Structure 1
Amino acid sequence: MEESPGSQTVITTTSSSSSYSDHFSTSTLAYDKHFLRTVPGILILAEIVLGLMVWTLIAGTEYFRVSAFGLVMFVAVFYWVLTVFFLIIYLTMAYTRITHVPWATVGLCFNSSAFLLYFVAAVVDAVSVRQAGHRKHDFSSWAASSFFAFMVSLCYAGNAYFSYKSWRSRDEGN
């Protein structure tokens, strides 16, 4: 067989072992329209809205003058981004297509750590409010962010409880 200078030969092989694509299908995106009507779904929405309030109220001030607010900002933004990520995972039902991840354990660890760190951040926020001194705008924003931080902590505690129930029922089923 004679090849012309511009022709190429392509050789493809297939493997009989399972590949990553066997366990993760992107052919169809599912949408769980009922998730937002469940208590965990409502709590996630509350976490996103209240968490957004926490970090925007602090970011609109001169928070860098009080170093403790760096921790509050980190916790608020970090868990806000991850919560949005988990909302997308739950809404698209991606957890049903990614079977290698123990989602009940991940949810329990995420919500428990979010509660603990957010509660610490809320306490730090509340204690640091008095350092606002004569800056009335900063004082009001920091006081409001402290309130919302405690509210977000309660939401994460609620979701940690539901994650624990899910984890426990899955553990008992095996």
Structure 2
Amino acid sequence: MILGLLQWALIASAPYTSLSAYGWVMFVAITLWILTTILFFMILFSAPQKLTAVPWPLTVMAYDAIATVLYLTAFLANAASVHPFIITYFYGHMAAAAFFGALVTLMYGASAFFSYLEWRGDGGNAATSTVPT
């Protein structure tokens, strides 16, 4: 959540309307940050225990996978649009936003991977499944 906030704050602090690619980056960054914050508070306040009809591991895995793909496209658009000679004053903001976009993409990818493991697993941890009883 913090990396996503840093990325969209960096994009918002620069003239992101100068290139259409930055509009996509801004849309993805803000939308997914808001949705991730909502999902975080839902899990924090035990919504999975109250809403048992929702397959939460599958839902979180699908959300993380979709967020990974969207952030990958936004990162690529951001990184391809960073030119040091076009907008020289905000070059550092756009380059830093591309860097944080890459980090957020990796974080969503790792979260999708671990969500997949939780979805496919039996719900136990490694210590209980490897110790003979």
Q: Which runs of at least 4 in structure 1 moved beyond 2 Å after TM superposition?
A: 132-137
Percent identity over the alignment?
37
From 108, 111, 129, the equivalent of 2:82 is: 129
Matches within 5 A, 1:16-165: 48-130=1-83, 133-165=85-117
Structure 2 letter corresponding to 1:106: T
C-alpha distance in 1 between matches for 2:29 and 2:37: 12
Paired with 2:89 and 2:13, the residues of 1 have a C-alpha distance of 10
Shift of 1:138: 1.4
Q: Name the larger-Rg structure.
A: 1
> For each residue in 1:5-28, what CA deviation from the matched residue of structure 2 results, as whole angstroms up to 9, or x when unmatched?
xxxxxxxxxxxxxxxxxxxxxxxx
RMSD of aligned C-alpha atoms?
Answer: 1.4
Q: Give how far 1:71 is off.
A: 0.6
Secondary structure, in 3 states, of the residue corresponding to 2:90?
helix
Tell me the equivalent position of 1:7: none
* Total equivalences in the alignment: 123
* Normalised TM-score (structure 1): 0.67
Report the Cα distance in structure 2 between the residues aligned to 1:63 and 1:122, rounded to whole angstroms: 14
**Between Structure 1 and Structure 2, which shows a larger proportion of helix residues?**
2
Aligned match for 1:166, one of 118, 130, 133: 118
Q: State the match for 1:37 in structure 2.
A: none
The alpha carbon displacement at 1:137 in A equals: 2.7
Of structures 1 and 2, the one with the larger relative CO (CA 8 A, separation 6+) is 2
CA offset digits 1:78-133 (Å, max 9, x no partner)? 11001101110111111110011111111011000111110111111000011x63
How does the TM-score come out when normalised to structure 2?
0.87
Output the amino acid matched with 1:99.
T
The Cα offsets for residues 131-150 of structure 1, whole Å up to 9 and x where unpaired, read as: x6343331110000000000
Counterpart code for 2:19: V
Structure 1 residue 170 displacement after superposition: 5.4
* SS of aligned partner of 1:136: coil
| In structure 1, distance between residues paired with 2:104 and 2:13 | 19
Counterpart Cα distance in 2 of 1:73 and 1:163: 26
